[in-house]
Amino acid sequence: MAGFLLAGMSLSLAACDTPVHIRGHVSDPESINAIEAGQHTQEDVLALLGTPSTVSTFDNRKWFYIGHKSTKFAFQHPEVLERNVLVLSFDETGFVTDKQVLTLADGREIKPIARVTPTEGRDFTVMQQLLGNFGRLPGSGAKTTGVPDIPGG
């Protein structure tokens, strides 16, 4: 009986384990270390690592391989366990010129700015919005210039 109880408790504890989610490109370190500047071309990198996660917007000679591992328990925010970004730069002939491996420690938190972009036009109060169309009904002598009326104007 004690064996069944012990097996049941161990199974219930195993069910509480949080799964690890892997997203993006996660390559083995041997493949990354095999890439040498000046010796490997873009075709060699494609054969070793596959298609990059993204290519630089302004310079198509910079490739990024991005991947991370995270875990999430119930309704909590995901916790990033590991993040790796491999940045490869190429010259005009297609050979690797630079290789950088960035980790979670290299990342920085971005704080968004709370400013609001102003828009053109007038700000109407609730009363101006509600009462702005009185007297502008069709057939009541309103202007018929083909230009729509602006409420409250």
* 97 domain-assigned: yes
Q: Do the domain assignments include residue 150?
A: no
pLDDT in tens, 53-90: 999 998 889 999 999 899 988 788 888 888 899 999 99
d(CA 66, CA 27) in angstroms, rounded, equals 10
**Pick from 85-89, 107-111, 140-144: least confident:** 140-144
Tell me, yes or no, whether 98 lies in a domain.
yes
Evaluate whether residue 88 is within a structural domain: yes
How many helices (H) does the chain have, and how many strands (E)? Answer: 4, 5
**Taking a C-beta distance cutoff of 8 angstroms, is the pair 72, 79 a contact?**
yes
Structural domain contains residue 16: no
Q: Work out the number of other CB atoms within 10 angstroms of the CB of residue 25.
A: 19
Tell me whether residue 90 is in a domain. yes
Q: Show the domain range for 83.
A: 30-106
Chain segment 24-56, per-residue pLDDT in tens:
888 888 989 999 999 999 999 999 999 999 999
Q: Is residue 48 a part of any domain in this protein?
A: yes
User: Beta partners for 55?
Assistant: 63
12 has a pLDDT exceeding 70: no
Predicted TM-score of the model (pTM)? 0.61
Model pLDDT, residue 149: 59
The CATH number of the domain holding residue 77 is 3.30.1450
Closest among 86, 94, 82, 81 to 38, alpha carbons compared: 94
Q: Domain count for the chain, please give it.
A: 1
